[in-house]
Chains A and B, each alone.
Chain A
Amino acid sequence: MIWRFIRNVRLGIKTLMLHKMRSMLTMLGMVFGVGAVIAMLAVGEGASREALDQIRKLGSQNIIINSQKPVEQAAAGAMNVRMNIYGLLYDDLSRIEQSYETVHRVVPAKLLRGQGRVLGRTLELRLVGTSPDWFDLVARELIAGRRMSQRDLDENSSVVVLTEHGARRLLAGQQTLGAQVLINSGYYTVIGVVKSEESQSSTMQTPDQNIDAYIPINVAIERFGDISVTRSSGSRSRELVELHQLIVQVDSIDHVESTAAAIDRMLELNHPKKDYSMSVPLALLRQAEATQRTFNIVLGSIAGISLLIGGIGIMNIMLASVTERTKEIGIRRAIGAKRKQIVGQFLIETVVLSVTGGLIGIGIGILIPWLITMFAQMPTAVTMWSVMLSVVISVGIGIVFGMYPAMRAANLDPIVALRHE
C-alpha cells in the first residue's frame, strides 16, 4: 500500500518534470501564497510580541492611577490665573493602602519639572519624587550604585537615582556615583543609575521615562511643595496637585481587575470632578491580544485570497494537463485502471505541486521576516503553528483544486479518449 503510494508519487513527480517550466510557474502561486501567509503572520506576531512585552513592562499586577486635569477646568484655567486644584490626594494613598486586602503595596509619585545642571551641562529632567518601592514595581536593571532605600526616605537625604540616559548626558566622562547634581536650586548626590524604557509608544506610556531623576518623595514635598507654576504664552497658571501618580500592586493577577474596579468606585466618590485616570496593564494586555486576533483574521483573509488564486492556478494547469493527456488516460483505462485510480493519479500530481510550492513558500516565508529584522530592525517571529498550518493548507488546496480536474479525467469515455490525438 505504502509502496504503491510512493510509486504513484514518483510517477507524479516524473510527469511534472516533463514540463519543468510549466510546473514551476504553476507552483509560484502556492509559493507566494504560503510565503505571504507565513511572512505576514511573522511580522504581525513580532509587532504584537513587542506590544505585549511593553505592556508586561508596565507590570501585569499593577494598576496605574494618574492625576488628570478635569476638562472644564482645563478650559477655565486658560482664561484666568486662578489656581487649579485637582488630582490624587495623600489621603487617597492611605485609603487605598488600608482599604483593600488584595492591595499588596502602593507607590506614590510626584512628577515635577526640573533642570539638572552639572558644570556647564544642563538637561531638562522629570523629577520623580517617590518611595523605594518604585524600583520594585517599575523593575529596571540597575547599572551602577544602588537604589533608593527606606533610610534615604527616613533621613530626608538629598539623593538622586539617574537614568542611564540622564547620567550620560550630565555626567559622561566623570565619576558618576557621588557626583553632585544641581536640580533647580538644590544639590543632590547621585547614588545610582538605572536603565529606563527608551521606546515610548503612543498607545501606552510606561511609568518611567529616560529623563527621569528619582528622589525621595518627602524631599520632593519639602523642596517643591504641592503648587507648581507653569508659564505658557504669556499667562501664568498655578496648579495644586498633591500626588501625580499612584502605582498599586495587587497580590495576584486574578485580583487585578476586581481591585481596579473597586478602587475606581471609591475614587469616584471622593473625586466627583473625575480628575484622575486609571490604566490597567492587564486589561491593555487582554485588549492587545484581542487586537492581535483581529489582525490575524484580516491577514489570514488576505493570505487566504492569495492561496485561493494559487489553487485556481493549479486547477487551471491540471485541466490543461487532463486535456493534453487524454490519450494516456484512455490507455490506462483500456488496460484496466478504475476511475478512482485515475482520480488518485491526478490528485497526487496536484498535491505534489501544491505541497512542493508550499514548502518553497515556507522557506521564503521564513527568509522574508529574517531579512526584515536584519535590514529594517523590525521585530518578527515565525511561529511554528503558522508553518504547520501552511503544510496542512497546501495539502488541502492540492486536494480541493485537484479534485475537479481529476474527476474530469476519470469520467472521460475510454473509447473517445483513446481516439483523441
Chain B
Amino acid sequence: MSALADSQTKTSNQMDTPRGSDDSTGSVIRLNQVWKTYRMGDQDVHALAGVDLNIERGSFWAISGSSGSGKSTMLNLLGCLDRPTKGTYLLEDKDIAKATDDELSDIRLKYIGFVFQNFHLIPQLTVEENIGLPLFYQGIEGADASKKARTLAERVGLGDRLGHRPTELSGGQQQRVAIARALSNDPSVILADEPTGNLDTSTGDSIMALLCELHDQGKTIIMVTHEPDIAAYADFELVMRDGNIETIRENPPNPKRTATPAGGPS
C-alpha cells in the first residue's frame, strides 16, 4: 500500500505544480507540456493541449474520456506510434520527440507491448509465431524464441494451442495470445486499448484478471477504456477532456482484483 500512497502523492503533486521538475527516478513515462496539433483545412485542432503526466514504474492506469477527448491520440503518443508536435515525452529517459522513424520502431520493440481491442493477431501465423513476433524483429531465433513463446503461452493458459491459427480460437483466447505477444519482449509498459471491448463480460473479467496478475508481478500497465467497471481495476483513473487531463483519481482496491490467486500488492 505504501507504493500506492507514494504514487498518489506524486500525482497530486503534479496536479498543482509544474510537472517534470521533481525527481522521478521511479518514472517510466514523463510528459511535459505535450501538444499534438492536427491541421484540418485551415484550422489547427489541438488533440492534446499541453499535457503533463508522470507514470511510475509498476503502476496500473486507466485512461477514459468521451470520444474526441484526445484519449486515442494520447495512447498513440504513449505507444510511440506518433511524436508530439510540441513538448517533451521521455520514455525510459529517451526523448521521443526527437526520434527518427527507425528509432521509434526500436523503442516500440524494446519498451512497448500493445494489446488491442480487436486482438490484431496475424491470421497466417500460428499462436506460437504470433507470440514470437517481437522476438523475430529483435533477431531472436530458433530454439530460444520457441522456448520463450511456449513459456508465455503457458503463462496465459494456452500451452496446448501453440500450433493453432488465430481464427481457430475464441475471442478470449485470441486476447490472451495478444497479451502473451505483448509480454514477449519484456516491455517497460503494456498499452491496452479497450482490451475487453470485443469480449463478453465474463471473458472480459478473466482478461482483466490476467492483466491484474501482470500488474502484481510488477508490470506497468496503461489501459484505455470507456467502461467504468473495467477502469475500476486500475490503481489510477485518468479522465481526459478537450485534449487535456480533467481529473486523476486513485481507485480504492478493487474486490475482484484482490480476489485473484496471485494476490494483491503487499
Q: Which residues of A contact B (CB under 8 A)?
A: 3-4, 7, 11, 14-15, 18, 327-328, 330-341, 414-415, 418
Contacts and interface: CB of A to CB of B under 8 A. Distances in A.
B133 A334 contact: no
Interface stretch (B58-66, B101-109, B209-217, B246-254): B101-109
Contact of B116 (A11, A332, A339, A418): A418
B108 A335 contact: yes
Interface string B11-55: 000000000000000000000000000000000000000000000
Nearest to B111: A336
Nearest to A17: B124
Contact of A18 (B76, B124, B133, B185): B124
A3 B141 contact: yes
B79 interface: yes
A334 B142 contact: no
B105 A4 contact: no
B114 A335 contact: yes
A111 B107 CA distance: 93
Nearest to B182: A335
Contact of A328 (B101, B109, B122): B122
A390 B102 CA distance: 36
Interface in B99-131: 101-102, 105-110, 112, 114, 116, 120-125
Given A336-B185, A337-B137, A331 B105 contact: no
B127 to A, nearest CB: 15
B133 A335 contact: yes
Interface string B80-109: 011000000000000000000110011111
A414 B136 contact: no
Interface size grouping (class) on chain B: 20 to 34
A332 B138 CA distance: 12
Interface in B117-169: 120-125, 133-134, 136-139, 141-142
B181 interface: yes
A334 B110 contact: no
Given A335-B133, A339-B102, A327 B120 contact: yes
Contacts of A335: 108-109, 114, 133-134, 137, 181
A5 to B, nearest CB: 11
B124 A14 contact: yes
Contacts of B81: 333-334, 414-415, 418
A379 B194 CA distance: 71
B182 to A, nearest CB: 9
Contacts of B108: 334-336
Contacts of A331: 120-122
Contacts of A341: 137
B136 A7 contact: yes
A335 B106 CA distance: 9
A408 B121 CA distance: 22
23 contacts: A3-B142, A4-B139, A14-B124, A15-B124, A328-B122, A331-B121, A334-B81, A334-B114, A335-B108, A335-B133, A336-B106, A336-B107, A336-B108, A336-B109, A336-B112, A336-B137, A336-B185, A338-B101, A338-B105, A338-B137, A339-B101, A339-B102, A341-B137
Given A11-B125, A14-B124, A339-B105, 13 more contacts: A15-B124, A331-B121, A332-B137, A334-B108, A334-B120, A335-B133, A335-B134, A336-B106, A336-B108, A336-B134, A340-B102, A414-B81, A418-B120
Nearest to A3: B141
A332 B109 CA distance: 10
Nearest to A338: B105
A15 B125 CA distance: 9
Contacts of B134: 335-336
A341 B138 CA distance: 11
B240 to A, nearest CB: 17
Contacts of B122: 328, 331-332
Contacts of B109: 335-337
Nearest to A336: B109
A333 B124 contact: no
Interface in B177-200: 181, 185
Contacts of B137: 332, 335-338, 341
Contacts of B136: 7
Q: Which of A4, A332, A338 counts the most chain B CB atoms within 10 A?
A: A338
A358 to B, nearest CB: 24
A338 B102 contact: yes
Contact of A336 (B110, B116, B125): B110
B167 to A, nearest CB: 11
Nearest to B184: A335
B101 A332 contact: no
Nearest to A14: B124
B105 A337 contact: yes
B141 A4 contact: yes
A3 B142 CA distance: 9
Q: Which of A15, A333, A334 counts the most chain B CB atoms within 10 A?
A: A334
A12 to B, nearest CB: 10
B132 to A, nearest CB: 10
B116 to A, nearest CB: 7
A334 B113 CA distance: 9
Contacts of B185: 336
Contacts of A327: 120
Contacts of B102: 338-340
Nearest to A339: B101
A328 B107 CA distance: 19
Contacts of A340: 102
Nearest to B122: A328
Given A333-B105, A336-B105, A336-B185, A415 B124 contact: no
A326 B121 CA distance: 13
Nearest to B193: A418
Nearest to A8: B136
Nearest to B126: A14
A7 B82 contact: no
B151 to A, nearest CB: 19
Given A339-B101, A418-B116, A334 B124 contact: no
Nearest to A414: B81
